[in-house]
Amino acid sequence: MAFKLGHKPDLNIGTRAAADVWAVIEAVSNVSEERDAAEKFGAYAEPGIPNYWIIRRDTVEDDGVISMHELVGGAYKITGTRLVSQLAESADDAR
């Protein structure tokens, strides 16, 4: 979970208010991917969580693929995809 700028989560609380959440970032397996696509898009869109990122393994590239979705009009629309290794390289370049 990624929180909105300035939010300081209470580590003693197991659940979070959707208004405080900027994104849910979730790793899925081949087994759970279909269920996640059917159930979780609606579960996260309903309370208005603005971003949902899904990380899955790309067996062709032997890398992780991140699909980035943004809530638009009550439904998630894909806004981009990146290989995990590309994000790691970008982070290294920023240092």
Structurally, how many domains does the chain consist of?
1
- Cα 8 versus chain centre, distance: 19
Please give the residue range of the domain that contains residue 47: 2-94
Place of tokens 């081949």: 30
pTM exceeds cut of 0.85: no
Cβ distance 76 to 69 under 8 Å? Answer: yes
Instruction: Determine the pLDDT at residue 13.
Output: 63
Provide the CATH number for the domain around residue 57.
3.40.50
Q: DSSP letters along 33-72, please?
A: HHHIIIIIHHHHHTTT-SEEEEEEEETTTTEEEEEEEEEE
Reading the chain (95 residues) residue by residue, the pLDDT tens digits are 565 556 565 655 656 677 888 888 888 877 777 777 678 888 889 989 999 998 888 767 678 889 999 999 999 999 999 988 887 666 566 55
C-alpha torsion sign, points 36, 41, 46, 51: positive
